Structure 1
Amino acid sequence: MKAVILFFSALHLLFTASITANAGVPATVRVDYVHTGNASIENYAIERVLIEPLPWAGNPARPIDDSNRGVNKVEIADLKTGELLYSRGFSTIFGEWSSTEEANKVQRAFQESVRFPKPEKPVRVRILKRDEKNNFVVAWSIDIDTDAQDVIRRQGTAPAKVIPVRVSGPSEQKVDLLILGDGYTAADMTKFENDARKLSDHLFQVSPFRERAKDFNVWAMAVPTQESGVSRPSTGVYHSSSLGTRYDIFGSERYVLTTDNRALRDIAQYAPYEFIEILVNNDTYGGGGIFGQFSTAAAGNDWANYLFVHEFGHHFAGLADEYYTSPVAYQSSANRQEPWEPNVTALSDPAQLKWKNKVKAGTPLPSPWPKEVYEEHSREYQKKRSALRAANRPESEMSTLFKEDLRYNNALFSKAPHQHVVGAFEGANYEAKGYYRPEMQCIMFDRSDSFCHVCSDAISAIIDLYTTPAKAMK
């Protein structure tokens, strides 16, 4: 018992040290704004500027993002000199919604935020967006004085306690992952903590997170709700929850997100974080992930381990989905622009393949795989999956179907000559033709248990961005 007390005392001291402001650590600025528009136009409007309760938790040695990830990028520049002080790539829910059929019919507004270390002088905040050539161009800018009178400087007390799940060192030297719970009642708090520990432990059993586990701090926090679980409108289930997380985003029954950005940020600001994963207290399969925003996973599902890691891959490293036979809400485009995501390609020029350094000499590009056989099986599998959901069958039956599907894939690919070979395998990014993935199998393709080599490298590069001094990078 004494050892347990000492252990938690040590965690408390590390936590306190990581969030205690001092002269060398800047405050955290958050700019909340509204992003509006439709499939063809978009506009921005500032809502408020806040100084968050905790000091900046980021890596002071790597203020500039050189990863070239995301649909968007935020840049913070000195207003007088133009010097670039800080930048980070990200994507948005608006960006995903704008590619849906609904966006051709109506305009919508989405809450968004950008966070950055407090500057000493007024700055210009620029939101950039990729153009048709995949280059970042300025979409919106606004000048901000973080010492102005209308900046919010005081927040209320934390709405829930912050649980130190894994503390490896000072926040500025580590990746800080915050696990938030939604749909957990006061009586569910022990369950939430167990879920957070179990799923984060699993994350660090998967390469390359396993090898880089000491580069992470993990915190957990859940504001109790009145009812267990979050809303699932397609089945008539509506629950009030602290983060507003729900199923059926964009009409996809398995897509789980929150569009209440203000609620999310107002709760998250009481813990050190750079990345957020929301656990919903539900058994139904589902999740989601937006690069640089957050990811979600159904903690009670049989596939929670997979969901946690797969969706975190989207959020943390900007990895694209490599599957293409499951229905999605996005509209396909005839234009096969080279994706910015590191793990998919349009392969317009095989000699310039973005992961060519991992392709062994003699590997054919495109790379053959049992595509037709896979697709024939997948069509039958998707019919069964749709039928189970339409009949609202028990989740155990869906889980059994998923297991059967994975067994089939493993058996099929085990006989393929290019299994575990890095190449360019057609079928990715929700498209059967025109996009290619690096390997036949990966966590981003099916429910297998490991990342391909290209995804692993892409994850490691983001870990470096948040933990490695600039002088050590070559």
Structure 2
Amino acid sequence: MLRSLISLLALCACACVSALAAQPATVRLDYLHSGNALDEHYAMERVVIEPLPWPGNMAQTIDTTNRGNNLVEVVDAKTGKLLYSRGFSTVFAEWRSTEEAAHMNRGFQESVRFPRPEQPVRVRILKRDERNLFSVVWTADVDPDAMDVIRKPPPAPVKPIGIRVNGPSEDKVDLLIVGDGYTQADMKKFEAAARRLADHLFQVSPFKERAQDFNVWALALPTEESGVSRPSTGVHHASKLGARYDIFGSERYVLTTDNRALRELAQYAPYEFIEILVNNETYGGGGIFGQFSTAAADNDWANYLFVHEFGHHFAGLADEYYTSPVAYATGGARREPWEPNATALHDPANLKWKKFVKDGTPLPTPWPKQAYETASRAYQKERAALRAANRPEAEMNTLFRRDLAQSNALFSPDPHRHTVGAFEGANYEATGYYRPEMQCIMFDRSDAFCSVCADAITTIIDLYSHPASR
């Protein structure tokens, strides 16, 4: 049985490679994004023709979802015809909301990828303005036939593993699971973690119902020592992708700022989305829309971390919690968020998810907010004490279980437990922002997405998969 399954996967992988051969090449524009809280700049670094053909559906090259802080547009240099677009967000945008950005400049590596055009193009990076509309902030002319374009990357250092292969890449959403902090001796452990977490993802709706629309690949470069850096505890490891804890001073925030290392490895597998598994047990993760997400593979809450952070990366979902400390500066005017699952509720009659709201539902929708916040303040105090004392991770996991049980007990008898409405408290703010339902994977460590988040995820699946293959 196992041999038959392996043979089937191998055949599917060959079919994917064969189908991809008809696709255009993949172009990657690497650039630098720098500045501070008030100013930002862009500079082209290089143009690369990646070794694998474009993995996406050429019938769906234009993004109409209106997600992300930024939008990339690729237009014909002569006619201005729009050839390709995708929304995305950046690590820079998060950093510039931190206190550090108020008094210093920093630069970040970024990339955009698009199918190789037949003619010179203009790549435009757009950014949301104060009206919540996109406006152009940078342009770069790209000629795929120019002499300085990199056309021959080095041979693949490792081969991707087909975790789930359901068809040609251009018909499917391609998810690449990348490992960081895994030694050569840890490779089987990484593959097992990738399979386990992918299996869990497709047990959660709406991914469960759309599992056949995905291919999942796994890839990892061995490191000299196990684990990634956690500077707040004096732990430093030279991992291949540079993923680490303590990003922007948040002990649980895990990202890599080495975009070059990530893209140079990822280019050897078909992908549109990336989740990085770090070889650590300490609770942590992160997710940037259209860039990548991360999760601590050995934590007791790895299933939740994988799905929650992928929700950010895949569908641009906002965090709906608001009592946990975050790395970014919050407060100020309550502008309407672009994220599909958070609102400032300026116009209740035109609530962005009103199609899910039943007539007569009060907006805002009442919930046991005060009792929740009282319990949450006590929980956060205990959580901070455990981290400050560097207590064993098992104690933190026990605290998380108790916190979720307390929330479930508080919410269970409430008449609006499963109501879609507008519940105040979201987007890191106790007031002024609202979430669609009382509970959701984006709010706490519960195990299901709310109706609005599930719909937002489905929209992205539809953007990247081919209807004829369903």
The residue aligned with 1:386 is: 384
Q: Which residue of 1 aligns with 2:398?
A: 400
With normalisation by structure 1, the TM-score equals 0.98
Q: Moved runs in structure 1, 4+ residues, more than 4 A? A: 20-23
SS at match of 1:35: strand
Count of residue correspondences:
469
Asked if structure 2 preserves the Cα contact closer than 8 Å seen for 1:306 and 1:449, the reply is yes
Quote the Cα distance in structure 1 between the aligned partners of 2:415 and 2:21.
59
What CA distance in whole angstroms lies between the structure 1 residues aligned with 2:16 and 2:116? 17
Deviations 1:59-87 (A, max 9, x none): 11100001000000000000011100000
Tell me the residue number matched to 1:28.
Answer: 26
Does 1:180 find its partner at 2:178? yes
- Following the alignment from structure 1 to structure 2, what is the Cα–Cα distance between the partners of residues 300 and 7? 27
Does the 8 Å contact 2:15/2:167 carry over to 1? Answer: no
The alpha carbon displacement at 1:7 in A equals 2.2
Match of 2:205 among 196, 207, 221: 207
> Residue in 2 aligned with 1:373?
371
Task: Please give the alpha-carbon distance, in whole angstroms, between the structure 1 residues aligned to 2:384 and 2:137.
Answer: 40
RMSD (CA atoms): 1.1
Give the corresponding residue for 1:56: 54
State whether residues 176 and 219 of structure 2, in contact with CA within 8 Å, keep that contact through their aligned partners in structure 1.
yes
From 236, 239, 242, the counterpart of 1:238:
236
Q: Is the CA contact 2:161–2:219 (under 8 Å) kept in the aligned structure 1?
A: yes
State the 1:159 CA deviation: 1.6
Question: In 1, distance between residues paired with 2:196 and 2:136?
Answer: 42
Residue in structure 1 matching 2:222, options 199, 221, 224? 224
Distance 1:467 1:221 in 2: 22
Contact residue 21 and residue 55 of structure 1 kept, 8 A: no
Give the C-alpha shift of residue 359 in structure 1. 0.4
Task: Choose from 420, 423, 432 the match for 1:422.
Answer: 420
Q: Give 1:21 shift.
A: 7.2
- C-alpha distance in structure 2 between counterparts of 1:22 and 1:391, whole Å: 52
Gaps of 5+ in 2: none
Q: Give the match's secondary structure for 1:426.
A: strand
Deviation per residue, 1:388-430 (Å, 9 max, x gap) = 0000000000000000000000000001110010000000000
Of 252, 267, 284, the residue aligned with 2:265 is 267
* CA-CA distance at 1:229 after TM superposition: 0.4
Report the Cα distance in structure 2 between the residues aligned to 1:336 and 1:310, rounded to whole angstroms. 24
User: Quick check: 1:19–1:272 contact (8 Å CA) kept in 2?
Assistant: no
| Alignment partner, residue 163 of structure 1 | 161
Letter in 1 for 2:120: P
Aligned counterparts of 1:132 and 1:208: Cα–Cα separation in 2: 33
8 Å contact from structure 1 (residues 62, 469) kept in 2: no
Alignment of 1:235-314 (within 5 A): 235-314=233-312
Residue 20 of structure 1 deviates from its aligned partner by: 4.3
TM superposition shift of 1:334: 1.5
- CA drift of 1:301 comes to 0.1
SS in structure 2 opposite 1:134? coil
In 2: Cα distance, 1:84 partner to 1:333 partner: 37
- Is the CA contact (8 Å cut-off) linking 2:70 and 2:126 kept in structure 1? yes
Identical columns (%): 73
Q: TM-score, normalised by structure 2?
A: 0.98
Could you tell me which amino acid in structure 1 is paired with residue 227 of structure 2? G
The answer for the alignment partner of 2:190 in structure 1 is: 192
Letter in 2 for 1:79: A
Task: Say whether residues 1:130 and 2:156 are aligned partners.
Answer: no
Q: 2-side partners of 1:468 and 1:185: how far apart?
A: 37
Measured in 1, the distance between the counterparts of 2:171 and 2:466 equals 8
Task: Supply the distance in 2 between the matched residues of 1:116 and 1:62 (Cα, whole angstroms).
Answer: 12
Q: Is the Cα–Cα contact under 8 Å of residues 254 and 285 in structure 2 kept in the other structure?
A: yes
| Aligned residue type for 1:460 | T
Q: Distance in 1 between matches of 2:413 and 2:263?
A: 48
Aligned-residue offset at 1:125: 0.1
1:336/1:346 contact within 8 Å kept: yes
Residue 7 of structure 2 aligns to a residue whose secondary structure is helix
Q: AA paired with 2:395? A: E
| 1:75 pairs with one of 73, 76, 83 | 73
1:441 matched to which residue of 2?
439
What CA distance in whole angstroms lies between the structure 1 residues aligned with 2:179 and 2:141? 35
**Distance across 2 between alignment mates of 1:254 and 1:464:** 32
CA distance in 2, matches of 1:22, 1:41: 41
Amino acid at match of 1:262: R
Match of 1:144? 142
Cα distance, 1:469 vs structure 2: 4.9
- Once the two structures are TM-superposed, the CA of residue 16 in structure 1 deviates from its matched residue by 2.7
Equivalent pair of 1:20/1:54 in contact (CA under 8 Å): no
- 1:179–1:279 CA contact under 8 A, matched in 2: yes
Deviations along 1:259-311, one digit per CA (max 9) or x if unpaired, are: 00000000000000000000000000000000000000000000000000000
| Structure 1 position 15, deviation (Å) | 1.6
Q: Distance in 2 between matches of 1:143 and 1:282?
A: 42
Q: Distance in 1 between matches of 2:385 and 2:299?
A: 19
Kept in 1, the 8 Å contact 2:129–2:135? The answer is: yes
Q: What are the residue-to-residue correspondences of 1:96-135 with 2, within 5 Å?
A: 96-135=94-133
The answer (yes or no) to whether the contact 2:174–2:273 under 8 Å persists in 1 is yes
